[in-house]
Structure 1
Amino acid sequence: MPNGTWRLAVLVSSARADFFGPLIAEWFAGQAGQRADLAVDLIHLADHELPAAVSHQPSPETAEALSEVSVRLADADAYVVVTPEYHQGFPASLRHFIDRHYTQWCAKPVGFVSYGGPSGGLRAVDRLRPVFAELHAVPVCDAVGFHTVGEQFGEDGRPKDVTGPAGAAKVLLDQLAWWATVLREGRAKYPYQP
């Protein structure tokens, strides 16, 4: 990458006691960490409790609860959302988190790593793409999906198939690197006004 290191925030979206979310996020962060051109910031939504009430005017309590993670999101050049599929959608905790931010997502690429049953969480990804597009983010085309996730990982916490998921992760990271570079240069020359 001509402009050096870009920053990738990997969001673990499930706030439930979810075995696979953190496991998959750690695996993906490990794949990303093999690249010399990026720095990874792993963010667990479960570590950032939000007030239950949702309103269009965030309260001071909400701003304070999110202050640290909001800065981390703003510092990122790109995002990867690690999400399960719940009832053909994505977790409510993720929607609540997304809605508490706006400018952080603008003019930045977002990729997806999903997991679930036979669909591999891809229906959750299909519902997330227009949400991020509405926030002026750029969802990339390719994603990493773990179908029937319970059968995909060994006792060591690693995918049983080492080549397929690693290849998909490389494609996703290459796309994010291109978009992160182009959009970062664009924001520097022409500040983005949503």
Structure 2
Amino acid sequence: MTTDRIRLEVVVGSVRSGRFGPVVADWFVRLAQDDPRFEISLLDLAVADLPADHTDSPQAQRFRSRVDAADAFVFVTPEYNHGYPAALKNAVDTAKEEWRGKPVGFVSYGGLSGGLRATEQLRQVVAEVHMVSVRQTVSFHRARKRFDADGHTDDGAAIDGHARLLEQLAWWADAVRGVRSHRPYPG
């Protein structure tokens, strides 16, 4: 096991105009920054500018480099029409080997379902690229009503879920990066 901080990429999955994802992602990052185990970066797909046709571009190369350097991920996803956003699927498909053997957690938001249908679908997708999805999730039902004007929430279940999600990510990240340092993932 390494004593280096866990490099956690928090991926904002929505690229829509007027999206709520940055509010949710900023809340998650603010709380996570209090955990000294993590070095946290925000990877916003709206500025990643990934080509939809998966051509090898400078943007795709930069994206794959960030994915490769990370130890763990949190996907912040809305639920659109009972599914996750196309931009998030495009991001997963832009990289391949770079995702392998790394843990991922989900923070979802939406209407009544809180984005949970998007999360369940994403679990299938990340399994295909050999990621380990942690069990704990954070979801915001009627998300816009859960945050104040400063991007804070008093949602006790979400705050508790946040801490549990970080615990599970840290456990998996420590377990797999120790092995990855001397033996590549056999995917």
- TM exceeds 0.5? yes
Secondary structure of the structure 1 residue equivalent to 2:40:
strand
Change (3 A) 1:64 1:2: closer
> By how many angstroms is 1:191 displaced?
1.5
Identity of aligned residues (%): 42
> By how many angstroms is 1:51 displaced?
2.5
> By how many angstroms is 1:189 displaced?
3.1
Name which of 159, 164, 176 aligns with 2:157.
164
Of 70-79 and 184-193, deviating more is: 184-193
Secondary structure of the structure 1 residue equivalent to 2:57:
helix
> By how many angstroms is 1:40 displaced?
0.3
Matches within 5 A, 1:137-156: 137-156=131-150
The answer to whether the aligner puts 1:123 opposite 2:121 as a matched pair is no
The 8 Å contact of residues 71 and 177 in structure 2, kept in 1 or not, is answered as yes
- TM-score normalized with structure 1 length: 0.91
The answer to whether the aligner puts 1:93 opposite 2:87 as a matched pair is yes
Corresponding letter in the other structure for 2:42: L
Change (3 A) 1:177 1:64: same
Unaligned runs of 5+ residues in structure 2 are none
Corresponding letter in the other structure for 1:183: V
Name which of 56, 65, 68 aligns with 1:74.
68
Secondary structure of the structure 2 residue equivalent to 1:165:
helix
CA distance in 1, matches of 2:52, 2:132: 28
Give CA-to-partner distance per residue, 1:83-140, whole Å, 9 cap, x none.
0001110001111111011011100000000000011000000000010001010011
> By how many angstroms is 1:185 displaced?
0.8
> By how many angstroms is 1:11 displaced?
0.2
CA distance in 1, matches of 2:89, 2:3: 33
Name which of 166, 183, 186 aligns with 1:190.
183
Unaligned runs of 5+ residues in structure 1 are none
In the alignment of these two chains, the number of paired residues is 187
The 8 Å contact of residues 82 and 117 in structure 2, kept in 1 or not, is answered as yes
Q: CA RMSD for the aligned pairs?
A: 1.4
CA distance in 1, matches of 2:79, 2:106: 12
- TM-score normalized with structure 2 length: 0.95
Q: Which runs of 4+ in 1 moved over 6 A?
A: none
